[in-house]
Amino acid sequence: MADRSPVLRMINSAARESLQPLGLAQRGQSRLWIDDHGWWLGVVEFTPPRTAGSGLHVAAMWLWHDVDHLAFHVDAVRTSPELFRTEDQFTALTLDLADRRLRT
């Protein structure tokens, strides 16, 4: 298996540190993290820009809608994508993005 990009590795590390202790689970190997409340989901997505980097999208999905995909019914946080410049810069950025989920 090929090694993941440093960007995805840093995003996953920050998300595991900030979101996993709160009970959120990563959806496969994606940039999506899910917080299941039974009748609604909290959805945290580290949005990819066209080049290396990430933004943040936090939303709620109502589970009474019969759909076969994730939907963002209520937006809570949306940040513009930030580009990867250096590992130090992006590590600090990913930790800040993951912590923003805690403040919503």
- Name the residue range of residue 93's domain: 6-102
pLDDT of residue 3: 46
Which strand (E) or helix (H) includes residue 18? helix 6-18
Is the residue at 1 inside a domain?
no
43: left (phi over 0), alpha (psi -120 to 50) or beta: beta
Which pLDDT tens digits describe the chain residue by residue (104 residues)?
344 677 788 888 888 888 899 899 998 888 889 999 989 989 888 877 666 767 777 888 888 878 888 888 887 767 767 777 777 877 777 777 777 655 54
Model confidence, pTM: 0.68
Contact, 58 vs 104, CB < 8 A?
yes
Is the residue at 49 inside a domain?
yes
Contact, 77 vs 100, CB < 8 A?
yes
At residue 30, what are phi and psi to the nearest 5 degrees?
-80, -175
Is the residue at 36 inside a domain?
yes
Count of structural domains, the chain: 1
